Structure 1
Amino acid sequence: MTDLEYRQMVEKKYGMPLKDLMYEVCIRSEMDNYEAAEELGVPHATFMEWRAAFHLGPYHSDTMKNLPISQDPVISAAADESLQYSNEESLRGFEELSRQMLALAKQHHDKMKKTDASPLDRVNIVLWESVLYCLDNYKDGTLQKQYKELKKKMK
């Protein structure tokens, strides 16, 4: 099936526009992306494309960005964790450190009350969100797919 056919199937099944459905699944539910894809009956790659298209990923959704840290349990919990893989030079350690850096950058930005924060603080948050987005794409195979498509275009 094509992405359009999956979209039509899901919209018909749930009786709501895909954007609203994705908001419910990505923001309001406690499901991870594999569970959500299974629940919707679509391939994981299709779900990840939709999530990215609607900006509902865990690190770049407007809802998560604009919440004060005190109201965002994911960020405040991540900032309080100690580094489990600090002695490793691995992708797992890099991902953990990146998540911590994002949490701390968001806390710092929130502490500065957003108006007093420097533009560099906001850039720092976007940087760490982008790093984590790329890591997620790498882990689910999307980055490899993009590489192959770009390589074909260059020939």
Structure 2
Amino acid sequence: MTSSVGKRIEEARKGRKLTQKELANMVGMSQQAFAALEKRDTAPKKLYEISEALGVSAEYLRTGKESNASHIAVARPAENSFTCEEVEEIIPIALERTVVALTKQLAQNGERLDLYKHQNLISEFLSASVAVELSGDYELITRAFERLKATK
């Protein structure tokens, strides 16, 4: 187990093949601030946003202990088949990430998440979140965030 919060963040970021600058941009930080964060042993204020962007639990980043979902995404074999149990396990994780991400993003525009009004956004983000959890392809969620920011 990696010893510090910063090291776990760095390990997860490198596992996703993201640069500090790319991840910093995803969570609204400068690259310099993010570099300093990876050297610290205390949980950053944006821990949840970082965990979302990396597809790991905030608990794992904070403590190094894995939750019931693996903290490292592993690409599936080419057959892309998943058991019902695998899908059922990630749905609550993906739904929570979707609701939190959209709530925060909409709040920046002075809006509140409305299940009816934002059903297309919810559907898009939930689909991307599920796909990310199953495939490990974090570009899907990055593109979904970029589309959301473009709709401001």
Taking structure 1 as the reference length, what is the TM-score of the superposition? Answer: 0.28
- More relative contact order, 1 or 2 (CA 8 Å, 6+ apart): 2
Structure with the higher fraction of residues in helix conformation? 1
Taking structure 2 as the reference length, what is the TM-score of the superposition? Answer: 0.28
Which protein shows a greater Rg?
Answer: 1
